[in-house]
Amino acid sequence: MASAVISWILFFMLLWLLFNWAAPFAVLARAEPLGLGRLPADLLKRPEAKRIKFYLGTLRRSYGFSVWLWPHTIVVFDRRFFAAASGDLVRFVVAHELGHALRGDHVERWWAIVSGAVALPAVRRRLAWHERNADYYATALTGFRRDMFKGLG
């Protein structure tokens, strides 16, 4: 009896991992590479930018997301967001993603989400710390702050 329960628990854990691993790729499969001419060229020359691939997709709940796909981080921007965003906002968001790439935050966040550890308060605090540090990095590169852009909160 106990082994059957353990088997079911392991089965559902495997399903959880597979779903959380595969879900972002459904959006990515319909996304298209973002032409580098539409991104800040000076930021793309930075060493950490070499680990990021940018895409445009249709997102429902955010202006963008990232997923780690070794050896790269894939960043998908929502088409509507990207079309409406000012050049300054695009510059800030790209610099923010570079901040994550510099420290490898995407890998840690990806593991936290896929494993379900993101539900733990300590892990959520750690991920919030990553966001603040990426904002500080973006501010250092661009001179802009997150609170300068309505809706980024």
**Segment 56-113, tens digit of pLDDT:** 988 877 777 777 777 888 888 889 988 888 999 999 999 998 998 888 888 888 788 7
What is the signed CA dihedral for 133, 43, 84, 110, rounded to 10 degrees?
-50
Using CA atoms, how far apart are residues 57 and 59, in angstroms rounded to an integer? 6
Per-residue pLDDT at 134: 93
Whole-number pLDDT of residue 22: 62
Task: Specify the pTM.
Answer: 0.78
pLDDT, residue 16, reads 64
More confident position, 99 or 23:
99
Q: State residue 141's pLDDT score.
A: 94
Please count the other Cβ atoms lying within 10 Å of the Cβ belonging to residue 71: 7
CB under 8 Å to 118, separation ≥6 — which residues?
A: 112, 124, 127
Pick 54 or 14 by higher pLDDT: 54
The H-assigned helical ranges of 1-153 are: 2-29, 41-44, 79-84, 87-103, 105-115, 121-142
For residue 65, what pLDDT is reported? 76
Mean pLDDT value of segment 37-53: 90
| CB contact at 8 A, 135 and 145 | yes
